[in-house]
Amino acid sequence: MEYTHLGRSGLLVSRICLGTMNFGPEASEDDSHTIMDSAHDRGVNFFDTANAYGGTVGEGITEQIIGRWFAQGGGRREKTVLATKMYGNMGDWPNMRYCSALNIRRACDASLKRLQTDYIDLYQMHHIDRDTPFDEVWEAMEVLRQQGKILYVGSSNFAGWNLAQAQEAAKARHFLGLVSEQSIYNLLTRWVELEVLPAAIAYGIGVIPWSPLHGGLLSGALRKEREGGGSRSSKGRAGEGLDKHREALEAYESLCNDLGEDPADVGLAWLLSREGVTAPIVGPRTLAQLDGAVHAVEITLSGETLDRLDEIFPAPGPNGSKPAPEAYAW
């Protein structure tokens, strides 16, 4: 496994981040524990979760599963860079969602209890809160850091100007601010390249792509469809794009076949080749999928292959090979 700094911080994380959103709804607790143990065995030290994961509002089921895994000891907590998120709805009453100082405090304490730990390595805002000023957000995060409950702060689903706004507000308070941003980013969804990715690079914010395979669409969806095993690739985000992107996916899977690599691994390897990307978040349901994700770190895509991928999946904008504003203007 390779490791890199999370943004401009001194924190070292694996180039693959283990996503846990399926723990509970899709994977049993025993299977979830096995996957986490296996991730450690493969050198993956970066785990991502959220207080809203688990399928039942307010329960934090996924965090509870991770907490019971930590409670088994064996250095599980010490070996893990733990990232969780707050913002989502955790109850019916006001102030049980979003990024007010009150909810930040309550949500953090509740996550710590469910996770059976006394600190969170990376505490993330799951979405931009347009109604809470960053002075309030940063004051609340500063208090948590002073109390030793969190070490670093990250964001998710922020626009590029939100990153700039957050960092300038933090700078004025002499606070470290954001060290990471989680954005949807994959070969089919490259919008972050216009503003989010450049802003993150400029501010030293590590980008952690979620849905790196577009819900399974980039994991060999057409091959699985032919083999009759593409149920996951025909649902949600992937299902909506299967027919729309069929021609591009045919070219993509043909290229991967020529490379002798699985499409899922190539999709991850492409992300790992992008400037500013720290670690894509993968949510394996089997150990074979976990092994594939780890293998992606070892894949080096040639310049010719990268150019071909740009042809198949063009960058956004009429002049997408150029940075904004030239991508869409002059």
Report the catalytic residues. 53
Half-sphere exposure of 170 (CA within 13 A, CB side): 20
Report CA torsion sign: 35, 40, 44, 47.
Answer: positive
156 φ, ψ (degrees, to nearest 5): -150, 140
Q: How far apart are CA 113 and CA 84, in angstroms?
A: 13
Q: How far apart are CA 209 and CA 125, in angstroms?
A: 15
Beta strands in the chain (DSSP E): 3-5, 12-14, 17-19, 46-48, 81-86, 120-125, 150-156, 178-184, 206-210, 281-282
Only one residue has tokens 């890199």, namely: 4
CA-nearest of 102, 138, 248, 244 to 187 is 248
CA-nearest of 194, 314, 301 to 247 is 314
